[in-house]
């Protein structure tokens, strides 16, 4: 009789950031370019840097020097700093700094955990950035967006980003929205936008 997964489950579906890593990880092969649009504490940048391998590269953005410093420290600890270009820039200027097509672009929206809650992503610049991200994706590539509707600006972002995604042309993009259905108080959500290629065309 099977009583459980040996060693525990690989990921918990309630951990939306783990789910985002899982999905992003499926799309990354060694040598590709990727973007972390919100570096924060550096967890996503380190994840991407590991995945792209020594021949790949990550462009990692944040508006706060504190976040850039945390991320650099974390990369240095893992000896991954050469794989990453850290940019203290607003991701609304994504296209200016990313030189070529990318396989994965990650957005983990909101504010820096433990930092200044007033410095948070906002729907207008986030959507401006996502529009550029769509243009940068390789066929089959994905944009992953973790939304945090539990705070005011996060709720506003969800309110604007979901309709923005809905109107994207389904002949060019597949879009998935993962939500925890049995939780109150606006839990985080994941959106995955995949640029269609012949290989990924669904129904
Ligand atoms: C939830 S944190 C990101 C967590 C991070 N991905 C990690 O793995 O630790 C959100 C980050 O977005 C940054 N941010 C807010 N507005 C931004 C913008 N317009 N462009 C780039 N980064 C922004 C904040 O400074 C904050 O560090």
- At 7 the pLDDT is 67
- At 122 the pLDDT is 96
Instruction: Write out pLDDT tens, residues 115-164.
Output: 999 999 999 999 999 999 999 999 999 999 999 999 999 999 999 999 99
- In the predicted model, what is the mean pLDDT of the chain? 93
Distance 171 CA to ligand 1 centre (A): 31
* pTM higher than the cut 0.75: yes
Q: In which band, very low, low, confident or very high, does the pLDDT at 9 lie, cut at 50, 70 and 90?
A: low
The CATH number corresponding to 16-195 among 3.40.366.10, 1.10.1740.10, 2.40.50.140, 3.40.50.150 equals: 3.40.50.150
Most confident of the following: 28-32, 113-117, 177-181: 28-32
| Residue 22 CB–ligand 1 contact under 6 Å | no
Distance 90 CA to ligand 1 centre (A): 9
- At 4 the pLDDT is 62
* pLDDT of 14 higher than 70: yes
Task: Tell me the C-alpha distance between 140 and 133, whole Å.
Answer: 13
Distance 9 CA to ligand 1 centre (A): 28
Q: In which band, very low, low, confident or very high, does the pLDDT at 187 lie, cut at 50, 70 and 90?
A: very high
Task: Tell me the C-alpha distance between 16 and 23, whole Å.
Answer: 11
- Residue 36: beta bridge partners? 60, 106
Cα distances from 121 to residues 18, 71, 125, 128, in angstroms, run: 20, 18, 7, 12
- At 12 the pLDDT is 77
Q: In which band, very low, low, confident or very high, does the pLDDT at 183 lie, cut at 50, 70 and 90?
A: confident
Q: Which two tokens stand for residue 182?
A: 């049995």
Ranges of H-type helices in the chain: 16-27, 43-52, 65-77, 94-97, 123-136, 152-166
Atom in ligand 1 nearest the alpha carbon of residue 40: 27
Least confident of 8-22, 62-76, 115-129, 134-148: 8-22
């Amino acid at each position: 009789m099977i009583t459980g997964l040996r060693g525990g489950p690989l990921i918990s579906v309630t951990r939306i950031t783990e789910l985002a890593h899982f999905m992003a990880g499926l799309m990354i092969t060694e040598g590709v370019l990727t973007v972390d649009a919100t570096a924060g504490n550096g967890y996503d940048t380190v994840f991407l840097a590991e995945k792209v391998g020594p021949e790949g590269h990550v462009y990692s953005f944040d508006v706060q020097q504190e976040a850039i410093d945390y991320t650099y420290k974390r990369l240095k600890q893992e000896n991954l700093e050469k794989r990453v270009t850290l940019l203290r820039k607003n991701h609304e200027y994504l296209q200016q700094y990313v030189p070529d097509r990318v396989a994965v672009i990650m957005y983990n929206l909101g504010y820096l955990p433990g930092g200044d809650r007033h410095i948070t992503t906002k729907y207008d610049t986030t959507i401006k950035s996502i529009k550029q991200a769509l243009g940068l994706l390789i066929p089959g590539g994905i944009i992953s967006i973790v939304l945090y509707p539990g705070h005011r600006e996060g709720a506003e972002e969800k309110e604007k980003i979901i309709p923005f995604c809905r109107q994207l042309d389904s002949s060019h993009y597949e879009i998935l929205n993962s939500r925890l259905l049995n939780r109150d108080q606006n839990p985080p959500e994941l959106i995955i936008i995949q640029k269609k290629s012949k290989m990924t065309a669904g129904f």
